Structure 1
């Protein structure tokens, strides 16, 4: 069985890296099902770009792990808005401050 879980945990990703990642995923949105970006500093624009990607109905991500990313209220609003506009695919979102 192929593991489709993409681990980018703790790779020191910043706003710029998250923007590059979401741009790449926008060009080929249909295959990725699970993504772990834990322990990164995604920043406001990184989370905004990720939220925009989640709004795309062709992007079928089922699990998104953002634990220990210090997600702020403003960023949560952006994620919430994205999930309200496209609630059908994502079934697990981890925003905790403690990674397992």
Structure 2
């Protein structure tokens, strides 16, 4: 579903199917779809209602910022979350977003991509603590600075 200009309304329509118990969605790629914080609320609610099959999520190049990312991080609070790969490239995350990520991170995540965000020194420190404390994270992609 990359590069389709879905926007928040399109995400809302798409998410109606995710709530179905028969939904076996494993990979969801929504790169460059003009999704904002509002779309994140709908997406997180839908995915939290049926989280056990999703292993890969790509929300790169959307307008999430720290607020949208924090909403997506609620997925990790669900014990049924099996997300292993998360791409958040160029979504305007700052040090604040990194702090939020480090504070909730306790998951099966094996791969995380935070490239092309506005992460400074304190954000790098937060990500470093995440790496030290993670039992599963194997790949971290980033271009900090």
Normalising by structure 1, report the TM-score: 0.85
Residue deviations 1:58-77 (CA, integer Å, cap 9, x gap): 11100000011111111111
Corresponding residue SS for 1:35: strand
Tell whether the 8 Å contact from 2:66 to 2:92 is kept in structure 1 after alignment.
Answer: no
Which of residues 85, 98, 102 is equivalent to 1:63? 85
Q: Which has the higher contact order (CA 8 A, sep 6+)?
A: 1
Tell whether the 8 Å contact from 1:39 to 1:68 is kept in structure 2 after alignment.
Answer: yes
Runs of 5+ unmatched residues, structure 2: 1-24, 118-145
Normalising by structure 2, report the TM-score: 0.60
- 1:97 corresponds to 2:124: no
Runs of 5+ unmatched residues, structure 1: none
Work out which of the two has the higher radius of gyration on C-alpha atoms and give 1 or 2.
Answer: 2
Q: Which runs of 4+ in 1 moved over 2 A?
A: none
